[in-house]
Amino acid sequence: MRPAERGGIEARFVSSGAVEGGGALGRVVFGAVSGAPRLEDGVPTLPLHMIDDARDAFAEVWRTAGETRCGRENGLVYGHDDSLLFCAGFIPAGAGYTETARQTYADAFALVRTLGFPTIFRMWNYIPDINGETPDGLEVYRDFCRGRALAFEAEDAGHAGMPAATGIGTWGEGVGFYLLACRDDAAQHIENTRQMPAYRYPERYGPKPPSFARATYRHGALYVSGTASIVGHETLHAGDLLKQWEVATDNVAHLVSAGNLAAHGVSDGYTLQDLDQIKVYYRRAEALPQVMQLARAAFHPRAEVRFLNVDICRTDLLVEIEGIARRRGSQ
């Protein structure tokens, strides 16, 4: 039984030009253009500049089995059924992102509350020139993290309210982001005992630490945040792609394991073979053949995997992995 058939949500990678039928909550186009989200044929759509050649573009489509409704509010677009919501937004390029990220996140938080979907269980953030500097000399990613943290603090959600998330580079201008939320409170945010929680990182990583959990579990699916070669809070094996891949996949394997989930009160467990809807972000263009070979060896032959050549949140990181772990028979 597919997830959408039992009141859940499913994602698929499709051609960027594919026409969506009913049940589509939202669509993210990984192509050669970034911009504000819009409604296309009644489907909330966010364009992200993540590749150089438009012929390689693809879309990620989120579907449910319920009747969907869509709308716009404060520059945000959204789609929802009775249980689940997709929301996307865009922060125009600027000298810095602290205030604009804080305000746009605050608008998104207000929208999900107003629409009745208070539990955010997954977020994605695509940040331009992520390793560059603002006029104040602060790294762009750290500047963005400060604004995001201020928005979470204003929500008084605490660490328990921080969902799985990805913060990664984009070739475009402006920050594109999207999120998934639900009406119920069934989402369980998960940490990894191999890694320090990101929200507890020391100040050396910026004035405010990143605001996310390592994963979120909901209705039999584990949404895995962008995961890299970090143990504790330190990057391991700077400059060595193979060893970074090994640490990153070890981190994911431990994160999704029954032992780690049991520590969070979740009676489930997965392996790398259960991971699907995988995005592999890699820094060096020439590394693609090696990264593809490593992914083929690590993941299930039927896993959907996409590779995106972009910068990563730390300059010494070469690869990052995200995905959704779910029993393969339930997909």
| Residues recognised as catalytic | 320
CA distances for 45 relative to 34, 114, 205, 226, angstroms: 11, 21, 33, 22
Nearest to 172 by CA among 25, 38, 312, 32: 32
Strand partners, 55: none
Q: In angstroms, how far is the first alpha carbon of the chain from the final one?
A: 7
Task: For residue 38, count CB atoms less than 10 angstroms from its CB and return exposed for 0-12, middle for 13-18, buried for 19 or more.
Answer: middle
Please state, in angstroms and rounded to a whole number, the distance separating the CA atoms of residues 210 and 201: 8
Nearest to 235 by CA among 312, 167, 318, 316: 316
Please state, in angstroms and rounded to a whole number, the distance separating the CA atoms of residues 261 and 250: 15
Strand partners, 62: 11, 26
Please state, in angstroms and rounded to a whole number, the distance separating the CA atoms of residues 15 and 30: 10
Is the distance from CB of 306 to CB of 30 less than 8 angstroms?
A: yes
**How many Cβ atoms are within 10 Å of 268's Cβ, its own excluded?**
16
| Secondary element (H or E) of residue 106 | helix 98-115
* Token pair listed for 263: 């520590």
Is the distance from CB of 216 to CB of 266 less than 8 angstroms?
A: no
